[in-house]
Chains A and B, each alone.
Chain A
Amino acid sequence: MENKLIVLLVIVLGAIAIAQLVRVYEISSKLRKNQEHEISNRDNNLNGRMMFGFMFLLFGFFIYLMSAYGWTGRGSAASDEGVEMDWLLNLNFVIIISVFFFTNFLLFFFTWRYVRKPGVPAFYYPHNNKLEMLWTVVPAIVLAVIIILGLQTWGHLTGESKPEAVKIELFSKQFDWTARYSGADNTLGLYDYKLTLDNNELALLTSNTIDSSLNNMLNGATGIHSLQKLLNNRDTVLSDSTVAVLRTDLSRKERLYRFLTQMKQNHNKKLDASAWDDIIQKDTLYLCKGQQYEIALRAKDVIHSAYFPHFRAQMNAVPGMATRMKFTPNKTTAEMREEKNDATFNYILMCNKICGGAHYKMKMVVVVLDKPAYNRWMAGKKSQTFKDQYFPVAAAPATPAPADTTAVTMN
């Protein structure tokens, strides 16, 4: 009801608006004696002045936005790499804001200053090679500076990380993140997406996980055997389309089974250890201040992008392709909270590549601790390696939570 009323109102108002427009149109046409192509001096001067006035409005708007939001929104960089990037960004901003003011000023000033004046002809000035050379060479020099500085920083940001950098993997899927710490050996265990099972969500590669995947593919609830049984069962009648679907599914699983068999044959058992000591961490990513991190990225389904706005770090996670990045947090969460005067502030890892409906909710809280607090947290994780999770001890005390919360509150 309310809806219809509003629609009705819009239609009525629209009709009135159009009627008014027609009147304005007719009256202004008459005033100009139908000479729409002759712009009167009055209109010309008025628009010239308005253009110049608009410039002040534009500049004022920019200065207001810059002072109100320009620096606060971004916050200071919280990583060594971010500090270098911010320096470069500020330098670039100085250059482009100067260009913005200078050229826009000339544009609007000329528009106002050189508006037609009766009796003053335009100055016939078709070209001047010196001037054109000037504004080819000057931008070229400025750009050369920008390019050289930019590529230097780019080299620092994308170069190899230090040997002592800690390796962490960020695993992404619709719509959450999982972190995997490389454990005591600082080596991430290998993985293969075909090993994904409920008790091995990150598809880590060990002799045991291969076996259970093979077993699941063969004997699982929708495994090869049960599909074959279903297709060969003479007591049930299946529609042609169902049979087609089942057959496709069966052949897909048989192919996967062959791949898994090959994997088992080629597998080197010595590699198991590097996977067993990995630590899988959900919800919150804990990092240590001053420690460089070498981050490996993985995606399970579609492209995601690991975006740490405060560390100024970003890299896509692409299915079927390994990507990496590195950064060194240089402020603990507590220090940043103090700086921002916000007791609830947290660092964040967000998804920044469109990945589906809940894309905007895909995030992970990041906590940066100082070295002692981080070590305490890590000590609590020592007994929660992938191996511990994969072979749960029947009587294991269910106390993973306290270690996490104490670490946060200790800040």
Chain B
Amino acid sequence: MASHDAHAHGHHEDHHHHEEHFVSKYIFSQDHKMIGKQFLMTAVFMGLVAMMLSILFRIQLAWPGESSDFLSFFLGEKWAPNGVLKEDMYLGLVTIHGTIMVFFLLTGGLSGTFSNILIPLQLGARDMASGFMNMLSYWLFALSSIIMLVSLFVESGPAMAGWTIYPPLSALPQAVSGSGLGMTLWLFSMAIFIASSLLGSLNYIVTIINLRTQGMTMTRMPLTIWAFFVTAILGVLSFPVLLSAALLLIMDRLMGTSFYLSDIIVGGEMLTNHGGSPILYQHLFWFLGHPEVYIVLLPALGLSSEIIATNARKPIFGYKAMIGSILAIGFLSFIVWGHHMFVTGMNPFLGSVFVFTTLLIAIPSAVKVFNYLTTLWKGSLVLTPAMLFAIGLVSTFITGGVTGIILADSALDIMMHDTYFVVAHFHIVMGMSAVFGMFGGVYHWFPKMFGRMMNTRLGYAHFWITIVGAYGVFFPMHFVGLAGAPRRYYDYSAYSEFDKGSFELMVDLNEVITVFAIIAALGQVLFLFNFFYSIFRGPAAPQNPWKSNTLEWTTPVERIHGNWHGALPVVHRWPYDYSKPGASEDFIPQTTPLEAGEEEH
């Protein structure tokens, strides 16, 4: 503790003796709160770009071949001659949409924002273990974002091999134009992104292990922190594997190696590469790729646990079981990657093992869902916008989770693999659940981030448009997939030649999907307005707006470097003492000592 105190003292003096410069406060800041906000702003921008890309290709899918001013305005004559999207660019849009959404919005944006803001605040720490590494992490993230955006504008087009960039398609510029400079930029951007993610994750882990305040034992940590902790561990163990996959691909592309290439003739040229295996890439990619799903999802589940307990005015049901399921999901996520590869020609026995491990994940997931339901049961629910998003998350987690059972069953995956059923499944889980968790987090912790409140009514409107719009987009996709429609198809005109019934189904549903997508996208304007306007004009936030127990609400409303004036808070109880019988209020902050004879939960 001595070092803590000295540290606190030092900061205290800093605060009084010199004003921070604009550059050190807003740009090269080492303060975790500012870095969190930088991550959030960047991710919101990247998310907007990726959403716009999706609207562009959704227009093509709903009204294939029809001229659209919207397309020609954004893509110009080169990529949308006469307002009709080019085939290659369609793949480019799909690829960059997926990449940005998965990595830049839901990894950098979700875990980067909330781990940074909440870990020190909820643990009672002055800052992250290394402020400098944290700053570096953000600026590498910014750099990789810029490179990814630049790749949209190169002459040969952005990467076009899908967000999974399977070689040989991604390795051979002769195979598709985006595998030229666009792919090189994609790889460099991702390599930098991985460095950023690793710096961040290591910092989170070290902070959680070392900088908990007095009394904050591991089993008194809020579930948010548990989720961020396991997420960071997943990131540290899996992202380096993606880096190696990317490096081998870079070598195949630039130095003539044959890690992923064998016996290929492309563009009339007979390559001499022999002995490599494209399947090796898939193994390496999905060794990250599957934990990545939980890197995206766990923080959202952590945030919603906190939001649901606070606004149900009830302790989260089964705190220890929730920690157990986070750990179980984290562990299992490393041994299930093969379920993405059932039809690659992998040994069927190996496939069986992956079926078994994958379906096991359903058990901790089910435990989490039932624990959320029991938390709501007999609660006294305060339906703030954040709470609505958290409940929406539980609904989509169920809806998207159950279809995972079909896809994890290798015998059924044969017919569902790479169809729209898969697209529906992972969009409901990642595009809805994880995004809802992020929105919930923003509404809930906005007062902490900016010292002001967001407008509740606009928040409600935003929630309702988003949930109706997003379910309207992703629910019908299941049925497009059940009809057999492969994903990443520029259009489904092929069906008109051999199956009129299916063709009409696809045309109908694709229009419905696009209309809902446009509605949902427009609904985000409400959020953007509310978010940015409230930063400047929102009413001042009270000390503890949601009457919450956790430590971040004991910090002063104005944001100071070092988080607490004077000594750090001391923790006496777990964070979920809501509506405890015998207490005068329906919440007891973690800093309140146990009363004589009071039992800890």
Residues of A within 8 A of B (CB): 2-3, 6-7, 17-18, 21-22, 24-25, 28-29, 32, 34-37, 39, 43-44, 47-48, 50-51, 54, 57-58, 61-62, 65-66, 69-70, 72-75, 82, 85, 88-89, 92-93, 95-97, 99-100, 103-104, 106-108, 110-111, 114-117, 120-128, 131-132, 135-136, 139-140, 143, 146-147, 150-151, 153-155, 157-159, 174, 193-194, 196, 252, 255-256, 297, 300-303, 305, 307, 309-310, 312-316, 318-324, 340, 342, 344-348, 350-361, 363, 365
Within 8 A of A (CB), among B509-539: 509, 525-526, 529-530, 533, 537-539
A115: nearest residue on chain B (CB-CB)?
B381
Q: Are B391 and A107 in contact (CB under 8 A)?
A: yes
Q: Knowing that A128-B374, A255-B272 are A-B contacts, what are 16 other residue pairs whose CB atoms are under 8 Å apart, sorted by A's residue number?
A: A18-B529, A25-B455, A58-B395, A93-B406, A104-B395, A116-B313, A126-B319, A146-B359, A154-B355, A194-B270, A303-B278, A318-B279, A340-B499, A354-B488, A358-B87, A360-B486
Judging by beta carbons under 8 Å apart, are A252 and B411 in contact?
Answer: no
Measured CB to CB, the closest approach of chain A to B129, in angstroms, equals 32
Shortest Cβ distance from residue A259 to the other chain B in the assembled complex, whole angstroms: 8
Which A residue sits closest to B394, measured CB to CB?
Answer: A107
Is residue B380 contacting chain A, with contact meaning CB distance below 8 A?
yes
Residues of B contacting A36 in the complex (Cβ-Cβ under 8 angstroms): 453-456, 538-539, 545
CB distance from B486 to the nearest CB of A (A): 4
Q: Which residues from chain B contact A126 at a C-beta distance below 8 Å?
A: 315-319, 576, 601
When C-beta atoms are compared, the residue in chain B nearest to A40 turns out to be: B456
18 chain-A/chain-B pairs, Cβ below 8 angstroms: A2-B69, A3-B72, A44-B382, A69-B482, A108-B395, A114-B381, A126-B317, A128-B317, A151-B410, A154-B409, A155-B352, A158-B348, A159-B348, A174-B175, A310-B484, A350-B486, A357-B176, A365-B498
Beta-carbon contacts of B537-548 to A below 8 Å, as 1s and 0s? Answer: 111111001100
Which residues on B sit within 8 Å (CB–CB) of A360? 87, 486, 488-494
A315 lies within 8 A of B345 (CB): yes
Tell me if B570 is interfacial: C-beta within 8 Å of chain A.
no
Question: What's the Cα separation between A302 and B178 when bound, in Å?
Answer: 14
A62 touches B475 (CB 8 A): yes
> Given A85-B415, A114-B379, A123-B314, does the pair A29, B484 have CB atoms closer than 8 Å?
no
B residues with a Cβ closer than 8 A to A are 69, 72-73, 86-88, 91, 160-162, 166, 168-169, 172, 175-177, 261-266, 270, 272, 274-279, 312-321, 343-345, 348, 351-352, 355-356, 359-360, 362-363, 366-367, 369-374, 376-384, 388, 391, 394-395, 398-399, 402-403, 405-406, 409-412, 414-415, 417-419, 447, 453-458, 460, 464, 467-468, 471-472, 475-476, 478-480, 482-484, 486, 488-494, 497-502, 505, 509, 525-526, 529-530, 533, 537-542, 545-546, 576, 578-581, 586, 601
Selected contact of B414 from candidates A85, A196, A255, CB within 8 Å: A85
Taking a contact as CB atoms under 8 Å apart, the answer to whether B403 and A96 are in contact is: yes
- Asked whether A353 lies within 8 Å of B384 as measured between CB atoms, the reply is no
Q: Flag if A357 contacts B87 (CB, 8 Å).
A: yes
* A135-B72 contact in complex given A114-B376, A345-B499, C-beta closer than 8 Å: no
Contact B378 A122 (CB under 8 A): yes
Chain B residue nearest in CB terms to A340: B501
Shortest beta-carbon distance from B137 to chain A in Å: 32
User: How many angstroms between the C-alpha atoms of A143 and B601 in the bound complex?
Assistant: 33
Are B482 and A70 in contact, CB atoms less than 8 angstroms apart?
yes
Q: Which one of A111, A132, A312, A342 contacts B391 once the chains associate, using CB atoms below 8 Å?
A: A111
CA distance A22 to B276 in the complex (A): 60
Contact A150 B370 (CB under 8 A): no
CA distance A43 to B382 in the complex (A): 10
The chain B residue sitting closest to A357, CB to CB, is: B87
Shortest Cβ distance from residue A104 to the other chain B in the assembled complex, whole angstroms: 6
Partner of A302, one of B175, B315, B380, B505: B175
Whole-angstrom distance between the alpha carbons of A103 and B538 in the complex?
A: 37
- Using CB atoms, name the residue of chain A closest to B378: A123
How far, in whole Å, are A206 and B87 apart by their CA atoms in the complex?
Answer: 39
Q: How close is B350's CB to chain A, nearest CB, in angstroms?
A: 11
Chain B's nearest CB lies how many Å from the CB of A15?
A: 12
CA distance A140 to B73 in the complex (A): 53
Which one of B88, B384, B419, B482 contacts A352 once the chains associate, using CB atoms below 8 Å? Answer: B419
A65:B276 contact, CB within 8 angstroms: no
Contact present for A103 and B411 (CB under 8 Å): no
Task: Give the chain A neighbours of B417 by CB distance below 8 A.
Answer: 305, 314, 352
Interface core residue of A73, A128, A139, A351 (most chain B CB under 10 Å):
A73
Q: Do A125 and B374 touch (CB < 8 A)? A: yes
When C-beta atoms are compared, the residue in chain A nearest to B500 turns out to be A342
Bound complex: CA of A174 vs CA of B395, how far in Å?
42
- List chain B residues, Cβ under 8 A from A17: 525
A122 and B312: CB pair below 8 A?
Answer: yes
Q: Which of B160, B321, B456 has the most CB of A within 10 A?
A: B456
In the complex, chain A residues whose CB is within 8 Å of the CB of B458: 21, 24-25, 28
For the complex, what is the distance from the CA of A159 to the CA of B348, rounded to whole Å?
8
- For B362, the chain A residues whose CB sits under 8 A away are 139, 143
Are A47 and B455 in contact, CB atoms less than 8 angstroms apart? no
Of B374, B418, B492, which is within 8 A of A131 by CB?
A: B374
Candidates A37, A135, A313, A344; contact of B541 at CB < 8 Å: A37
Please state if A89 and B406 are interface contacts (CB–CB under 8 Å). yes
Q: Which of B169, B344, B476, B586 contacts A355 (CB 8 A)?
A: B169
What chain A residues lie within 8 Å of B476 (beta carbons)? 65, 69
Contact B471 A256 (CB under 8 A): no
Question: Which residue of chain A is the closest to B492 with respect to CB atoms?
Answer: A360
Q: What CA separation (Å) do A34 and B391 show in the bound complex?
A: 25
Q: Which residues of B contact A320 (CB under 8 A)?
A: 261-264, 274-278
Interface centre among B176, B363, B454, B486 (most CB of A within 10 A): B486
Pair B366/A135 contact, Cβ less than 8 Å:
yes
Q: A61-B475, A114-B376, A316-B343 are in contact. Are A28 and B500 (CB under 8 A)?
A: no
Min C-beta distance of B174 to chain A, whole Å = 8
Tell me if A74 and B490 are in contact (CB < 8 A): no
Residue among B73, B91, B160, B263 with the highest chain A CB neighbour number at 10 A: B263
Q: Which of A2, A103, A143 contacts B369 (CB 8 A)?
A: A103
| Contact, CB under 8 Å: A344 / B498 | yes
Q: Which residues of A contact B472 (CB under 8 A)?
A: 61
Other-chain contact of A120, B172, B380, B471, B581 (Cβ < 8 Å): B380
B412: contacting residue among A24, A92, A345, A365, CB under 8 A:
A92
Q: Which of B172, B412, B467 contacts A54 (CB 8 A)?
A: B467
Flag if B380 contacts A147 (CB, 8 Å). no
Bound-state Cα–Cα, A324 to B344, Å: 10
Decide: B272 and A256 in contact? CB cutoff 8 A. yes
On whether the beta carbons of B498 and A73 are closer than 8 Å, the reply is no
Tell me which of B395, B505, B529 contacts A73 (CB under 8 A). B505
Please state if B366 and A122 are interface contacts (CB–CB under 8 Å). Answer: no
Residues in B neighbouring A82, C-beta threshold 8 A: 415
* Contact across chains for A151 and B377 when beta carbons are under 8 A apart: no
CA distance A347 to B373 in the complex (A): 46
CB contacts (< 8 Å) of B455 on chain A: these are 25, 28-29, 36
- Chain B residues positioned under 8 Å from A66 (CB to CB): 479
Closest beta carbon of chain A to B341's beta carbon, Å: 9
Which residue of A has the minimal Cβ distance to B484? A309
Closest to B454 in A: A36
* Minimum C-beta distance from B71 to chain A (A): 11
Whether B418 and A353, one on each chain, are in contact in the complex, defined by CB atoms closer than 8 angstroms, is yes
Q: In the complex, which residue of chain B has the Cβ closest to the Cβ of A144?
A: B359
Q: Say whether A3 contacts B69, CB under 8 Å.
A: yes
Q: In the bound complex, do residue A96 and residue B405 qualify as a contact, i.e. CB atoms below 8 Å apart?
A: yes
Contact between chains at B355 and A37 (CB < 8 Å): no
| Distance between Cα atoms of A70 and B351 in the complex (Å) | 28
| Residue pair B263, A69 in contact (C-beta under 8 Å) | no
The answer, among B265, B457, B480, for a CB contact under 8 Å with A301, is: B265
Query: Which of A57, A111, A131 contacts B381 (CB under 8 A)?
Result: A111
A47 and B266 contact, Cβ closer than 8 Å, known pairs A100-B399, A309-B484, A357-B87: no
User: What is the bound-complex CA distance between A314 and B422, given in angstroms?
Assistant: 15
A347 and B377 contacting across the interface, CB-CB below 8 Å:
no
Say which residue of A103, A107, A120, A350 sits within 8 Å of B494 (CB atoms): A350
